[in-house]
Structure 1
Amino acid sequence: DVHKIAAFYHNHGFIRAKVGEPRVTYVEGDGLHITIELEEGEQFGVGAVTVEGDLIEPQEKLLEVVRIGKEKVFNREVVRKDILSLRNRYADVGYAYAEVVPATRENEEKKVVDITYRISKGKKVRFERINITGNNITRDKVIRRELKAVEGEYFSGKALRRSTQNLHRLGFFEDVEVRTKKGSSDDSMILDVNVKERRTGSFSIGAGYSSVDKAIATFQVSQNNLMGRGQKISTSARLGSKSSQYDIRFIEPWLFDRPLSTSFDLYKWEREYDEYTKDSLGVGLSVGFPLTGLGLDEFTRGSVGYAYDNADISDIADEASQVIKDMEGSNVTSSITIGIRRDSKDRPWNTHEGSVNSLSFEYAGGLLGGDAYFNKYRARSAWYFPVIWDTVFLVQGRWGYVTRRSGGDLPVYQKFRLGGINSVRGFDYASISPVDPATGDRIGGEKMMVYNLEYRFPLVAEQGIVGLVFFDAGNVFEKDESWTFSGIRRTAGAGIRWYSPIGPLRLEYGKNLDRREGEDSGNWEFTVGGIF
């Protein structure tokens, strides 16, 4: 307590504050009394702030990372952080052993403290060797290709921080420990990377309920680090009383050991609607690539993908909407999608900070053939903000627009619909949609927007149990309607997420805040699985 009191005063300008040793006395009938003598002294502000010594940049540039000059009163803690900031600045260009010593001079007349940071940069240091341990399954090259530190190149503190972040983002490791030690000479350094692997294979079983499908069961088996090569493969099935969906997906994140990602997707989907039955078979192939050559950062990637979908529409009800009757028979969609995405999340799940921003354009028909002719645009922006007590605030918006081109059709199933655990929680899956005024059928819309606010907080941090509260809002519009917040569908709710020993679990309830006739007051959805 004495040290805390002294630190408080020294961080608030009382540089001469003296805190005496505590005296403990016993007063009969009143217990122990603790007395601490305190001499505050006068409060000092901040005077001139300079840097001198081995300057790698002009003084004005180095002072940009120094905060003490912005303080009203002298603060030792801020000085300590300034020392770390200056050392990091030097470390980022190879001076790993740079020393920064603050020299202070008290000005009695003005009651300020002048501060000079004296810098000795030392020798420029290279990475002599990088040792990797703890990876019993993951191959060395999978780890090394994520490292921004390279053997033989100059030390960089920024590269070390980015390397650690990249390894966390893989999702293969429970813990990543990066340590440095002196090498065989004063200008060399050894980097030790120790990882603790987690199980990356998983199976999951999920259940849900909707007014259309009643009970829904989902099954998935996946491996996110196939044979330790960093490849991902998954198979999944979604079964309901009126629908079934099967999917096989493979992802190679580093094609030919280059930062080119490829993915292959094969699926079969059958769904029995009240008005018709849709049975589709499709395949997709995409390639992702970095855009650093265009001056963008390493978090930003571009992608190009091709998709082929053959949907057979049958069993159309006599009273169905005409736009649904027009789809009867085979409907082929052949499309190319071009996208750009920036993902700076610190980790793939249980994210604490970072953002995801993406834009995509899908072109169907024309020279690609098929029956569907449309242009589809999508955008997403999601931001994660760390708050106090290890809590996180998420703000997310998603938008979509699709327009039919002459020469082909725009099927109902290519339009937008919202609802469900991944869009507007509290509504059944795809239940938010424009309807045909003549039949009441949901026919989808050409415009879509959805917004999510979420506050996550640890419930049992050691066990990975997280609670959350959320607010969702979204709507779908026809092509002649304007984008508007008037009539937007709104829900609020809470949930629990747990990365448990038997797998990821997600349980959430959303309450409909503007319930309309025929709608449920809310909806529960959950998933639970296992790992191997």
Structure 2
Amino acid sequence: MLNRLRVAVAGALLAAGMAHGATFTIEDIEVEGLERIAPGTVFTNLPVQVGDAFDDARSAEVVRALFRTGFFSDVSLRRRDNVLVVVVEERPAINEINISGNRDIKDDELMDALRQVGMARGRVFNRTVLERMENELRQQYYARGKYNVRIDVEVEELERNRVDVNIDIAEGQVAKIRRINLVGNDAFEDREILRRFDSGIPRWYAFFSRRDHYSRQKLSGDLETLRSKYLDSGFVNFNIDSTQVTLTPDRKDIYVTVNVDEGDQYTISDVRLGGNLIVDEQELMELVRVAPGDVFSRARINASADAITRRLGDEGYAFANVNPIPEVDEENRTVSLTLFVDPGQRVYVRRINFTGNDRTQDEVFRREMRQMEGGWYSTSNVDRSRVRLQRLSFVESVNVETRRVPGSDDQVDLDISVKERFSGSFTVGVGYAQSEGVLFNLGLSQENFMGTGRRVSLAFNNSSVNRTYSISYLNPYYTLDGISRGFTLFFRETDASQLDISRYATNRYGGTLTYGIPLTEFDTFRFSPGYERVEVVTTSGTSDEVFDYIADGNTFNFYTLESSFTHDTRDRTVFASEGNLQRAGVKVALPGSTAEYFKLDLRSQWFLPLRDNLSIGLNGEINYAEPYGDNDRVPFFEHYFAGGSRSVRGYRDFSLGPQDSNNDPFGGTFRVVTTAELLFPPPFLDDSGNMRMSLFLDAGQVYQSYEAFDAGEIRTSAGIGMTWLSPVGALTFSLAQALNDKPEDDRQVFQFSIGAAF
């Protein structure tokens, strides 16, 4: 209405200015009132030009055209002889947009939202945009469930036709979900469906959960989860008819109703492969995870397509595509499935490019690659290369992108970006452990010495039990084939009596030379020749068994050879969730040593994923020591112990097994330990990558010898444990109840270990 009035007034003024003639030919056009806007902008938007005939009818057209630009708050026209004079008043420019009170949404996100509605620094200020701006901001908060948000906008006028827009936000509280109602579901109960949702009522033990905080995006994800649940269970025609989100009058509570149409359940009648298979059809069919008679499952069909795609990727077809084509028989409620294979062009890798390695030499990363330049592209080799790079201690993250070479149909480049982790450190630390008391450590280590991937470390550790000095070096690629070589020199003083075991102390020093030979991607063989000198120091409370063993001397020299075979398929070395670790190791005190003996250690560890963030961990260890040659005993300082957080929780550290004449733990030469755990994230946190809890069952015992093994003597315990990889070190806690303890056992319900560095 206001613009029409201005157009009418402008027409009247122009008519008054043209009293001597209703029409004239424009000889020139002048613009008055411009401050920031260039004259060219006005001339570009004028619907008339020099030489045109101008009358009353065209005046309204000119005014409307200039108002449509949004740059002007007022436009008028005048005539001076045959010159058309355009007089404009510019809208103010936005100098600053100031936002305060926002905590849930960052400034950058809000600024992006304002920019989408035309409100940004330097742009022309238009009051008609304010309402759209406020609505956009409200929508941003509504999407996060904050329906009580209050937005106050103040426009502050400045000199030189500028304004500041000050936005004050009172976010309010997130509306909470009080109930989710499902209507139309017969195949599955509400509880079975809703437990998969991220939205809903928090579980009684989840004190800090935000599950009941409403979010439009989160609800959309839940609806997709619902759809997947039905499509994976054979309901091909499943549909979500409607979703109602009801807000209570006080805008604090939300009730969600989801209406579904399940349809009928379908089964697979036939599975075929089509297209250009490349690989033998029988081999590809073995990758298909559905069969005739199975319930239709979108997840298993997609998994089948992915498996075939990966198999073709191993043949060099990096961009293969497998399309599942279903033929639905509505009458018989069956689906005939054809997996159509389009392999595309076979490609090979031209170059492998690394970025982000500012400190590490390029060679260090290239030697980990299993995909070679010039070779056919292989999905398995690329994936394995990523894992090998990720397992390097000085690499934080790895991203691999496959990029087509411009102008070539059969070449790709691999662009690998790495994010390096700081690998050199000088640490001074203090901590506490129940078994060792206060701990002090001093260390200088470099996991990636001068960017070569070699490890160098110097360390000093001190506690009431141990004092250790050590220096070590490892070259993981002593040869191009990946054979590693390293050495360790050490000196260690141990006061065993501080561990509440047999009362003696030892001074040890020595060194080892270690070689590691990779046999396969997952198998490694290591052997370490070494020398160790041990001096036993007795005390007033030293047991008869110790005095008896050192009757001929308290100093021992050992020439040792250690070897091990390791098979490791775990997905991670810390907080693994799937895969297994198998290790067999032997240590031999060679002929010529003061005492000749060998130790055999077997370990088996399995991780079985049940679902996301939930897995079963199984661990078993058998340790055996035996003298040979002229010796009849294994040195007592090489005995095994059991009990405590590293073996059988609920019993004091090292307390299980044989005792000496002073009734102190003396250890033995045969030990069995096993653990079964249900691993899960803390229930009071939605997602935590540095904390894990477990419900565990431990069992184990140590015996004087293998012949003394008695299954009835195995001690068991059950409880709950937690490990937190905190910024200041690893913290472990456990609450355990001994299940079959005896009166002479030393129990300990709560056990912990805390470390800190500064």
TM range (shorter): 0.7 to 0.9
Q: 1:428 to 1:235 in 2, by over 3 A?
A: farther
* Equivalent of 1:288 in 511, 516, 521: 516
Aligned equivalent of 2:100: none
Aligned equivalent of 2:317: 95
Contact 2:579 2:607 in 1 (8 A): yes
* Equivalent of 1:431 in 655, 660, 663: 655
Contact 1:169 1:345 in 2 (8 A): no
More off after superposition, 349-358 vs 106-115: 106-115
How is 1:40-119 mapped onto 2 (pairs within 5 angstroms)? 40=263, 43-69=265-291, 72-107=294-329, 110-119=332-341
Q: CA deviation at 1:475?
A: 1.1
> Is 1:528–2:751 an aligned residue pair?
no
1:161 corresponds to which letter in structure 2?
Answer: D
What do you get for the CA RMSD once the two structures are aligned?
A: 3.3
Q: CA deviation at 1:428?
A: 4.6
Greater relative contact order (Cα < 8 A, sep 6+): 1
Q: CA deviation at 1:98?
A: 1.8
- Provide the rounded CA distance (Å) in 2 between the counterparts of 1:512 and 1:217: 31
Residues 197-226 of structure 1: CA distance to partner in whole angstroms, max 9, x if unpaired? 22334534332234xx65454554433222
Residues 172-216 of structure 1: CA distance to partner in whole angstroms, max 9, x if unpaired? 233221111211311111111112222334534332234xx6545
- Provide the rounded CA distance (Å) in 1 between the counterparts of 2:652 and 2:460: 19
Aligned equivalent of 1:206: 431
Q: CA deviation at 1:16?
A: 4.7
Q: CA deviation at 1:90?
A: 0.6
Aligned equivalent of 2:621: 398
Could you tell me the TM-score, scaled by structure 2's length?
0.62
Aligned equivalent of 2:724: 498
Name the structure where helix makes up a greater proportion of residues. Answer: 2
Identity %: 28
Aligned equivalent of 1:370: 593
Contact 1:396 1:451 in 2 (8 A): yes
- Provide the rounded CA distance (Å) in 2 between the counterparts of 1:220 and 1:495: 29
1:225 corresponds to which letter in structure 2?
Answer: N
Contact 2:319 2:343 in 1 (8 A): yes
Residues 306-326 of structure 1: CA distance to partner in whole angstroms, max 9, x if unpaired? 121111123355872245432
Q: 1:214 to 1:290 in 2, by over 3 A?
A: closer
More off after superposition, 177-186 vs 101-110: 101-110
Q: 1:340 to 1:22 in 2, by over 3 A?
A: closer
1:370 corresponds to which letter in structure 2?
Answer: S
Q: CA deviation at 1:423?
A: 2.9
Q: 1:25 to 1:136 in 2, by over 3 A?
A: closer
Q: CA deviation at 1:165?
A: 1.6
Secondary structure at the counterpart of residue 347 of structure 1:
coil
Q: 1:3 to 1:475 in 2, by over 3 A?
A: closer
Contact 1:304 1:338 in 2 (8 A): yes
Q: CA deviation at 1:239?
A: 2.5
How is 1:451-490 mapped onto 2 (pairs within 5 angstroms)? 451-459=674-682, 460=685, 461=687, 464-479=690-705, 481-490=707-716
Which ranges of structure 2 fall in alignment gaps of 5 or more residues? 1-219, 498-502
How is 1:16-55 mapped onto 2 (pairs within 5 angstroms)? 16=237, 20=241, 38=261, 40=263, 43-55=265-277
Contact 2:624 2:706 in 1 (8 A): no
Contact 2:719 2:734 in 1 (8 A): yes
- Provide the rounded CA distance (Å) in 1 between the counterparts of 2:378 and 2:611: 30
- Provide the rounded CA distance (Å) in 1 between the counterparts of 2:615 and 2:393: 19
Q: CA deviation at 1:363?
A: 2.1
Aligned equivalent of 1:295: none
Contact 2:655 2:746 in 1 (8 A): no
Aligned equivalent of 2:570: 345
Secondary structure at the counterpart of residue 227 of structure 1:
helix
Query: Which structure has the larger Rg over C-alpha atoms?
Result: 2
Aligned equivalent of 2:139: none
Aligned equivalent of 2:399: 177
Could you tell me the TM-score, scaled by structure 1's length?
0.86
1:473 corresponds to which letter in structure 2?
Answer: A
Q: 1:255 to 1:458 in 2, by over 3 A?
A: same
> Is 1:415–2:643 an aligned residue pair?
no
More off after superposition, 235-244 vs 90-99: 235-244
Q: CA deviation at 1:153?
A: 0.9
- Provide the rounded CA distance (Å) in 1 between the counterparts of 2:636 and 2:305: 61
Aligned equivalent of 2:159: none
- Provide the rounded CA distance (Å) in 2 between the counterparts of 1:522 and 1:19: 52
Contact 2:243 2:256 in 1 (8 A): no
Aligned equivalent of 1:355: 580
- Provide the rounded CA distance (Å) in 1 between the counterparts of 2:747 and 2:245: 66
How is 1:438-457 mapped onto 2 (pairs within 5 angstroms)? 438-457=661-680
Q: CA deviation at 1:458?
A: 2.9
Which ranges of structure 1 fall in alignment gaps of 5 or more residues? 293-297
Secondary structure at the counterpart of residue 416 of structure 1:
coil
- Provide the rounded CA distance (Å) in 2 between the counterparts of 1:10 and 1:518: 56
